[in-house]
Amino acid sequence: MKAINVEKLSFSYDKQNTILKQLSFHIEEGSYTTIIGHNGSGKSTIAKLLIGLLEKDEGSIYIQGIELKEETLQTIRSKIGVVFQNPDNQFIGATVADDIAFGLENHQVDPEKMEDIIQNFAHKVGMNQYLQQEPTKLSGGQKQRVAIAGVLAMTPSILIFDEATSMLDPKGKEEIKRLIKEIHQLHNITILSITHDMEEVAQSDHVIVLKQGRIVMEGKPADIFLNDQQLKDLQLDIPFQWKLKQELEKRGITLSNELTIEEVVDELCQLRLKK
Ligand SMILES: Nc1ncnc2c1ncn2[C@@H]1O[C@H](COP(=O)(O)OP(=O)(O)O)[C@@H](O)[C@H]1O
Ligand SMILES: [Mg+2]
């Protein structure tokens, strides 16, 4: 069974300009998929369709085998958590603890268990020291971590991030990317992350490249980054470590595939030791 299965999905906001054009893709259970594409290519529209915030014109969406329609909307929403771009739009509570609890209160969780659950999820995102703080006083990265804790507390099987790191400073971006990777490795959650960050793409299992509402490339990050010219034409870049790898290859030094920046550095250090 696929976590997400989208078949020939079409959508338009105004019934004139088609934003998504017969889009088909599927996402494996437990995988970490990134969606990239220039601004306006329809990425957020896909996220909103998947959680039923928008209604499709044509095609179908299946979440863990269940077709998304009015009757299944609540069931499907209980399976999917979403973290949006702007950390300031996801806050409502007086304290961090209130924020994490917010979703749970609508889910009739036993009040006696609430405290433990809040502690547990705050701990998972490294925010247990901040439970009594005012959310407004936190940094962007910390706010996103709290938002992630709140979403995780609902125990979704699919997590969607819609540019969750794009408004953060470099430190915040790093924190959240590391956290997404950790959540994927530790919990058996399917991750779908819309991002502009090629370092994040490099840490995912699968990439979908969107252009004007159509999928133009799809595959493993290592394979997608080979098409650097095509990515450039889409105003997308490849990660620094991939550029470095390509330059080294021109000079006869071949590094292995599936490389993060740490792996590149490790391999270069080993090469130097061998000399
Ligand atoms: N609420 C809306 N009403 C009309 N058009 C919209 C609305 N939201 C987005 N669009 C248009 O749909 C297209 C895709 O938008 P979006 O999915 O937000 O792109 P992305 O997230 O890839 O930047 C864009 O051309 C955008 O202008
Ligand atoms: Mg968007």
Domain map of the chain by residue range?
1-79+187-236, 80-155, 239-275
The CA 37 to ligand 2 mean position distance, Å, reads 9
Q: Ligand 1, atom 18: nearest CA belongs to which residue? A: 44
- At 10 the pLDDT is 98
Locate 110 and state its tokens: 């036993």
Q: Which atom of ligand 1 is nearest to the CA of 210?
A: 22
pLDDT number for residue 55: 96
Q: What pLDDT was estimated at residue 105?
A: 79
Mean pLDDT value of segment 95-102: 92
- Least confident range from 40-54, 75-89, 242-256: namely 242-256
| Cα 237 → chain centroid | 18
pLDDT band at 260 (very low <50, low <70, confident <90, very high): confident
Read off the amino acid at residue 80. Answer: I
Give the residues surrounding ligand 1 with Cβ less than 6 Å away.
13, 19, 37, 39-45
Cβ atoms of 216 and 210 closer than 8 Å: yes
Rounded to the nearest angstrom, the distance between the alpha carbon of 98 and the centre of ligand 2 is: 28
Identify the nearest ligand to the CA of 35 by its number.
1
**Which ligand 1 atom is at minimum distance from the Cα of 45?**
17
What is the best residue among 10, 13, 49, 85 to mutate for testing ligand 1's pocket, by most ligand atoms within 8 Å of CB? 13
What is the pTM assigned to this prediction?
0.91
Above 80 in pLDDT, residue 90? no
Query: With 80 as the cut, is the pLDDT of residue 106 above it?
Result: no
What is the Å distance from ligand 1's center to 196 Cα? 16
Taking a 5 Å cut-off on Cβ, the residues next to ion ligand 2 are 43-44
Query: Quick one: CA dihedral 119, 168, 36, 202, positive or negative?
Result: negative
Among all bound ligands, the one having the nearest atom to the CA of 163 is: 2
Lowest mean pLDDT among 82-91, 229-238, 246-255: 82-91
Q: Does domain 1-79+187-236 bear CATH number 1.20.59.10?
A: no
Residue minimizing CA distance to atom 1 of ligand 1: 13
The predicted structure's pLDDT at residue 258: 64
Of 266, 193, 194, 227, residue with least CA distance to 31: 193
Mean pLDDT of the chain: 92
Treating both helix axes as pointing N-terminal to C-terminal, what angle do 240-250 and 261-274 enclose, rounded to 10 degrees?
A: 30
Residue type, position 52, single letter: G
pLDDT recorded at residue 108: 77
Choice among 105-114, 123-132, 146-155, 202-211 with the minimum mean pLDDT: 105-114
